[in-house]
Amino acid sequence: MIPDLSRASWLLKPLATALLALTALLAFAVAAHAHGVATSDAGYIAEITGLNLLPYVYLGAKHMITGYDHILFLLGVIFFLYKMEHIGIYVSLFAIGHSTTMLLGVYFNWAISSFFIDAIIGLSVVYKALDNVGALQRWLGFQPDTKAATLIFGLFHGLGLATKVLEYNMSEDGLLPNLIAFNVGVEIGQLMALGTILILMGFWRRTRSFWKLAYSANVAMLCAGFVLFGYQLVGLVVVP
């Protein structure tokens, strides 16, 4: 059961943390366009044809590790999960979701605005942070199905991956095997990111500061999600 961390006495530190996080993310958002395709990677992919499994595994892992919106959502998902079996279930649901829409989106060339999809991904971070602090349960009067939400948002994250892969202009020669290799790389990158998060969370949970700062961390995550959403929304309106 997710604890209710929303007592008024916890507000001062969370607000200070949130302001710092908001400032840092705004600066970062101006400097980077939501883990888009690197020019060097796009140029390399445009030049190669046929089966290139290892390069695509590398690109998939690189994309997931540098995808801070995916990492934030993953952090939110496992924030209050302690048992490995529970972590495995939620991470598997997320993986099933993003693998399905990534493969289908690229193979069938679903040309969806990356700004639109990434804005929804930003909202997925907001949703998970609100869920973690018990806000959704209070507002709705019931606890939404966290497993279903993880799967559904995984589908949107997969569409986000698909929009980035489509920017590679991959050759039709060997497309499906290369796509599968890319997806394998994504899963490897996800496991690497998850392993790092679990190690850090394991150390943090052993300290007294965890329960003092857990609410602050989720408020910061909430602000990060709103910044990501707002940044992509502006791009949707401004960029032709």
Least confident of 69-83, 179-193, 225-239: 225-239
CA pair distance 224, 88, nearest whole angstrom: 25
Query: Binning pLDDT at 50, 70 and 90, where does residue 13 land?
Result: low
Mean pLDDT of 104-110: 90
Q: Looking at the domain assignment, is residue 30 inside a domain?
A: no
For the segment 164-208, what is each residue's pLDDT rounded down to a tens digit? 888 777 888 888 999 999 999 999 999 999 999 999 999 999 998
Angle at alpha carbon of residue 70, lines to 235 and 171, rounded to 5°: 75
Burial pattern 152-181, b for ≥16 Cβ within 10 A else e, equals ebbbbbbbbbbbbbbebebeeebeeebbbb
Least confident of 77-81, 127-131, 212-216: 212-216
CA pair distance 217, 212, nearest whole angstrom: 10
Contacts of 129 (CB under 8 A, 6+ apart): 76, 218, 219, 221, 222, 225
Q: Looking at the domain assignment, is residue 76 inside a domain?
A: yes
Q: Looking at the domain assignment, is residue 28 inside a domain?
A: no
Q: Looking at the domain assignment, is residue 18 inside a domain?
A: no
Q: Looking at the domain assignment, is residue 15 inside a domain?
A: no
Q: Looking at the domain assignment, is residue 219 inside a domain?
A: yes
Average pLDDT, the chain: 83
Q: Are 157 and 124 in contact (CB under 8 A)?
A: yes
CA pair distance 97, 151, nearest whole angstrom: 5
Q: Looking at the domain assignment, is residue 72 inside a domain?
A: yes
Judge whether residue 109 has pLDDT over 60.
yes
At residue 175, the pLDDT reads: 87
Judge whether residue 47 has pLDDT over 80.
no
Report which of residues 133 and 165 the model is more confident about. 133
Total tally of structural domains belonging to the chain: 1
Tokens of 106: 């690229």
Tokens of 86: 């529970």
CA pair distance 29, 22, nearest whole angstrom: 10
Q: Give the structural domain span for 58.
A: 37-235
CA pair distance 185, 60, nearest whole angstrom: 4
At residue 5, the pLDDT reads: 47
Q: Looking at the domain assignment, is residue 10 inside a domain?
A: no
Judge whether residue 146 has pLDDT over 90.
yes
At residue 39, the pLDDT reads: 61
Q: Are 103 and 179 in contact (CB under 8 A)?
A: yes
